[in-house]
């Protein structure tokens, strides 16, 4: 008896692309962005510990538009990762696993991300709560 030649495990060519798949990929990508954003946080804390001169120098760097753009991306990534993480916790409890519920929760994640991101971006970048 010959063994059929087929992939050992499923891959991207087998599945029909769905937005729930995109949400899963985006969850992983935002986790990576947040991990890289920790470098900026560590730099901020290190300059704060290094004294007022270093901190003032970092503040000048951090107030530039490219860095604000990176921080905005980090805020949106945080909001999405948080909302989708709550969705995954509900799945771990056995809630929302059926296809229609998963699709509905995906839409809720997107709306929650947009609302929370808008609120935090306004607070941190446009209102000037953090310089």
The answer for residues whose C-beta is within 8 angstroms of residue 96's C-beta and 6 or more apart is 87, 90, 102, 104, 105
Helix (H, G, I), strand (E, B) or coil at 74: helix
Helix (H) or strand (E) run with residue 24 in it: helix 19-50
pLDDT digits (tens, 9 = 90+) for 71-118: 999 999 999 999 999 999 999 999 999 999 999 999 999 999 999 999
- Where do the domains of the chain lie, and which CATH numbers do they carry? 26-36+64-126 (1.20.1300.10)
pTM of the model: 0.81
In the numeric block, which tokens belong to residue 33? Answer: 């962005």
- The beta strand positions in 35-103, using DSSP E, are none
Q: At what angle do helices 99-121 and 19-50 cross, to 10 degrees?
A: 30
């Amino acid at each position: 008896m010959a063994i059929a030649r087929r992939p050992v495990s499923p891959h991207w060519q087998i599945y029909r692309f769905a937005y729930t798949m995109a949400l899963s990929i985006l969850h992983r990508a935002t986790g990576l962005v947040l991990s890289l954003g920790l470098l900026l946080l560590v730099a901020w804390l290190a300059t704060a510990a290094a004294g007022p001169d270093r901190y003032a120098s970092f503040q000048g760097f951090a107030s530039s538009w490219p860095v604000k753009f990176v921080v905005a991306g980090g805020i949106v990534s945080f909001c999405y990762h948080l909302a989708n993480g709550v969705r995954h916790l509900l799945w771990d409890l056995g809630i929302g696993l059926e296809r229609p519920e998963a699709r509905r929760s995906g839409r809720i994640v997107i709306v929650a991300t947009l609302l929370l991101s808008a609120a935090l971006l306004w607070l941190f970048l446009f209102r000037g709560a953090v310089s």
